[in-house]
Structure 1
Amino acid sequence: MSDEHTYKFDVKMTCSGCSGAVTRVLEKAKADGVSEFTVNLETQEVLVKGTIPYEDVLARIKKTGKEVRSGETVA
């Protein structure tokens, strides 16, 4: 059994600069257990897969200054 999880976040992103900032922090997080992620500016949804703890992903997204409206573990 793998300890990989999928997290879904509703992040307030208003432009490609916003989604770019989130993409950059998640790209860096690959060294810490993020295996893949998608950042969707239109739906303002961020999906993250990996072995990294939920709190770590949340903290990294918040570090960009973007508002995280909600987040959950989906798998």
Structure 2
Amino acid sequence: MASHTYKFDVKMTCGGCSGAVDRALKKAKADGQEIDSWDISLEKQEVIVKGAVPYDTVLEKIKKTGKEVRSGETVE
């Protein structure tokens, strides 16, 4: 599968929120998901994920943290 970049608008109110998303993505990578990198911006309420992983898989991992995903898109 080709590598993609996804951008998600995630409602995060504190460092604990962004930390939960970070832990979920770390666990997904450890579990064998082909996630190359991610960047979480609490200020922008944005999570950018790069890798050869399906969009729905990444969305599901973020949603499992209990955070509200307001929108998401494939950037490239």
Coarse TM-score class (shorter-chain normalised): over 0.9
What is the TM-score of this pair, normalised by structure 2?
0.94
Aligned to 1:17: 16
Aligned to 1:47: 48
* Alignment of structure 1 residues 55-74 onto 2, 5 Å: 55-74=56-75
**Cα deviations across residues 23-54 of structure 1 (Å, max 9, x unaligned)?**
00111122311000001101010000001100
Structure 1: distance between partners of 2:15 and 2:73: 24
Structure 1: gaps (5+ residues): none
Structure 2: gaps (5+ residues): none
Structure 1: distance between partners of 2:49 and 2:61: 12
What is the TM-score of this pair, normalised by structure 1?
0.95
> Aligned residue pairs: how many?
74
Structure 2: distance between partners of 1:26 and 1:8: 14
State percent identity of aligned pairs: 65
Aligned to 1:32: 33
